[in-house]
Amino acid sequence: MMWSERTIWWCIVFICVKQGVSQNVSSLSKVSENCESGKRQDCADCRTVKICSYDQTVLTSYKCQDVEPDKPYCVGSGICSSDYDSESACGVADDLCPSTKAGFYPDPSNCTQYIYCDEKKIATPVSCLAANNAYNHSSSSCFLRKVLDDCFQVNCELLQNRNKWFIYKPFPQLYFFCSMSGLPVMFECPREFEVYDVKLQRCKFECRESGRFPYPGDNKKYYECVYVTPFKLELFEQRCPLQLTYDEEKRICNVK
Ligand SMILES: *[C@@H]1O[C@H](CO)[C@@H](O)[C@H](O)[C@H]1NC(C)=O
Ligand SMILES: *[C@@H]1O[C@H](CO)[C@@H](O)[C@H](O)[C@H]1NC(C)=O
Ligand SMILES: *[C@@H]1O[C@H](CO)[C@@H](O)[C@H](O)[C@H]1NC(C)=O
């Protein structure tokens, strides 16, 4: 049993590492130096428009997202659009996007920015408006940092962090792997109240408040979290009395 689980996880790790090499959020916004001759406007990268003079100098550039938030991509001869060119770097799935659903996600290596992942796992970086702010994944917005712990970030480029799993502490349903090449790869546990167990290499239920919670895959059972001391919650696996099944809405065993 243990063996088959290990095998599956190692395969996933291998894919992460492979993808990590070719995908790099920060490299998406690299601005190319010169302009093509005769062009006054062009795409610097798939999100940035550049304005040029006829002597091929870039006069200025701007992010489409800053000008037209619903048209974040630069296409063709420097036009902002809601869709990216299929062959552009914007079309590459980003490892910061977990495979679960579209939405905002933290950048685990920088608390002052976050990303939007669309359905195709294409990431659009977003920065907190002020440098002393940090991203809050519960509200998908930034807040003023008051204590050091308000900023959670792990530098995946440091050698001691590479090839290692981390829980995203402010929102432990999220966890990430720092690849061998120093890039974070984000994952999300499938259910609320689940936390990744680094040793077991799988997500498991964790008590965060008292009460009853559904047991995945078996409606005759449920989890119950109970305070055993004023500060310590403990997890119990309970079974409904015969003939009853766990009712998620009423949070109790009920007649079905
Ligand atoms: C990612 O992008 C940064 C900034 O452009 C660059 O310094 C770094 O080498 C890139 N990493 C990889 C693995 O391409
Ligand atoms: C985090 O990102 C901001 C821009 O969004 C940048 O100014 C800052 O240097 C980055 N910090 C780190 C630690 O990479
Ligand atoms: C983060 O957002 C949640 C939900 O809006 C809120 O309850 C919580 O207090 C926020 N955390 C911080 C540190 O601002």
| Amino acid at residue number 87 | E
Residues 143 and 164 in one domain: no
pLDDT tens per residue, range 58-71? 999 998 988 888 88
Does residue 10 sit within a domain?
A: no
Does residue 184 sit within a domain?
A: yes
112 touches ligand 2 (CB under 6 Å) = yes
Q: What is the 172 CA–ligand 2 centroid distance (Å)?
A: 23
Does residue 4 sit within a domain?
A: no
Residues 63 and 46 in one domain: yes
Q: Which residue, 91, 113, 83, is CA-closest to 184?
A: 113
pLDDT tens per residue, range 175-215? 999 999 999 999 999 988 999 998 888 999 999 899 999 99
Q: What is the 103 CA–ligand 2 centroid distance (Å)?
A: 21
Structure tokens at 3: 């063996």
**What is the tally of structural domains in the chain?**
4
Residues 177 and 146 in one domain: no
Residue 238 host element (H or E): strand 232-239
Q: What CA–CA distance (Å, rounded) separates 52 from 31?
A: 13
Residues 168 and 189 in one domain: yes
Domain containing 116: what range? 103-150
Does residue 189 sit within a domain?
A: yes
Q: Is the pLDDT of residue 22 over 70?
A: no
Q: Which residue has the tokens 């970030």?
A: 153
pLDDT tens per residue, range 204-230? 999 989 999 999 999 999 999 999 999
Does residue 130 sit within a domain?
A: yes
Residues 140 and 107 in one domain: yes
More confident residue, 32 or 106: 106
How much is the pTM? 0.66
Contact 117, 94 (CB under 8 A): yes
Q: What is the 228 CA–ligand 3 centroid distance (Å)?
A: 27
Q: Exposure of 145 by Cβ count < 10 A (0-12 exposed, 13-18 middle, 19+ buried)?
A: middle
Does residue 65 sit within a domain?
A: yes
Note the pLDDT of residue 17: 40
Does residue 235 sit within a domain?
A: yes
Residues 55 and 73 in one domain: yes
For residue 144, give the ligand nearest its CA: 3
| Amino acid at residue number 65 | Q
Residues 217 and 198 in one domain: no
User: Mean pLDDT, the chain, as a whole number?
Assistant: 85
Helices (H), the chain: 2-22, 25-28, 64-67
Provide the percentage of residues in the chain whose pLDDT is more than 90.
Answer: 55
138 touches ligand 3 (CB under 6 Å) = yes
Does residue 245 sit within a domain?
A: yes
Residues 131 and 167 in one domain: no
Residues 141 and 167 in one domain: no
